[in-house]
Amino acid sequence: MNALTAALRLPVVLVRYHELLGAFVRRELRARIEGSILGRVWPVAQPALLFAIYYFIFGAITFKFFTYKYYPDAVQLAASWGMWFWVLQIGRGILMTLSILPILYTLRLSRAKLALTAGMVVWIAGGAAPLLIPMDFMTPTQRFIHVIEILTQNFSLGVTAAYLLRRTASPKSLSAGSGI
């Protein structure tokens, strides 16, 4: 089964096995936080903080080369929110990380394939899907720029979360083809 097929079957699996998936996620998180200073907060906070960094870096790059022409007052708007702007971005990172935990702990893929799958899910579900349909208030060029901007930020979060939150596979499980 390729990564795309696994991702398309995911909603059915989540509904059918939601209790089992919840148990798996709890078990994995317990194993990850054992001995950690920040406990339960760190496994989710780390990718969320990295999302804020990605948002800053990739947002600055896409703003400078693409977005500025369409939204010249975006910097002033973000500055007017003050620290709340970054609280919002870290909160978005936490929500997106939490939303892909079942994917990370249930799909039996190698870490690399899982990272690509998680990145695509976060990119599409995290903002690209609504931009694919025509809108009266955005030109096609503006929608395209936003799709690229969301790709750079959200896809990076999905890949990072997969690599940080998924344990390294043991050689025995890789040889069995399970990827866990």
Share of the chain above pLDDT 90, in %: 2
Q: 65-90 pLDDT, tens per residue?
A: 777 777 778 788 888 988 898 888 88
Please give the mean pLDDT across all residues of the chain: 77
Q: Binning pLDDT at 50, 70 and 90, where does residue 3 land?
A: low
Q: 97-137 pLDDT, tens per residue?
A: 888 888 888 888 888 898 899 989 988 888 777 777 777 87
Distance CA 161, CA 164 (A): 5
Model pLDDT, residue 175: 46
Q: 9-24 pLDDT, tens per residue?
A: 767 777 787 787 778 7
Domain edges within the chain: 3-175
